[in-house]
Amino acid sequence: MSKVKLGVKNCLYPLPTTLVGANVDGRPNYIAIAHVGVMALKHISLSMNKRHYTNAGIVENGTFSVNLPSVEMVEKADYCGLVSGKDVDKAALFETFYGVLGTAPMIAECPISMECRVVKTVDMTTHDVFIGEIVEAYCDEACLDDDVVDFARVRPILFVMNDRSYWQIGERFARAWQAGKALKG
């Protein structure tokens, strides 16, 4: 196979598009973030450019939420990455609810929401990476199959930076920690 060198190009995609919720100046705000990750079983990371309005709210409260919008919400989700909470009340787009932390606003329309407590911050020069420990997760009842989240029903918005695009999830085609067993011989 013929390989092409792309230079210093990030190709770790697709990643789930999230709407991150935080109280900023005492009011709920939401921002679209897809540079996320899993740091440990119960810990997730958000890479947030230091220029964003939201960062100060996360630092002040030590809490945030991660909401997964579904494909039907793509206009609103993308909009939350286009405008700043400094200029626009983005919370007006959604119904907000709070959970046990009390300061991490969540979006009722999103099929999945997780409220998190900040446990570490990693300074990546241009970006603050907030590492949150999940305190409680909320899921629409209609997206559960036998109490387990069914991502075919969640219909998350997947993000690819390379061509600046959003994708749907496709077919579930194999089982993890099972598909490779045949090779164990």
State in angstroms the smallest separation of the CB of 147 from its own copies: 8
In this structure, are residues 34 and 18 in contact, taking their beta carbons and an 8 Å threshold?
yes
Counting Cβ atoms within 10 Å, is residue 146 exposed (0-12), middle (13-18) or buried (19+)? exposed
Question: What CA–CA distance (Å, rounded) separates 137 from 7?
Answer: 39
28 binds its own copies (CB under 8 A): no
184 binds its own copies (CB under 8 A): yes
Name the 3-class secondary structure at 152.
helix
State in angstroms the smallest separation of the CB of 56 from its own copies: 19
State in angstroms the smallest separation of the CB of 131 from its own copies: 7
Question: What CA–CA distance (Å, rounded) separates 6 from 18?
Answer: 27
Residue with tokens 């990643």: 15
Residue with Cβ nearer its own copies (57 or 99): 99
52 binds its own copies (CB under 8 A): no
Question: What CA–CA distance (Å, rounded) separates 119 from 91?
Answer: 25
4 binds its own copies (CB under 8 A): yes
Question: What CA–CA distance (Å, rounded) separates 15 from 1?
Answer: 26
Q: Footprint of its own copies on residues 98-157 (CB under 8 A)?
A: 108-109, 112, 114, 120, 122, 124-127, 129, 131, 134-142, 144-145, 147-151, 156-157
Q: Footprint of its own copies on residues 87-106 (CB under 8 A)?
A: 93, 97
Residue with Cβ nearer its own copies (6 or 26): 6
164 binds its own copies (CB under 8 A): yes
State in angstroms the smallest separation of the CB of 129 from its own copies: 5
Name the 3-class secondary structure at 124.
strand
Residue with Cβ nearer its own copies (26 or 125): 125
62 binds its own copies (CB under 8 A): no
Neighbours of 162 (CB within 10 A): 11
Residue with tokens 């099972």: 178
Residue with Cβ nearer its own copies (51 or 142): 142
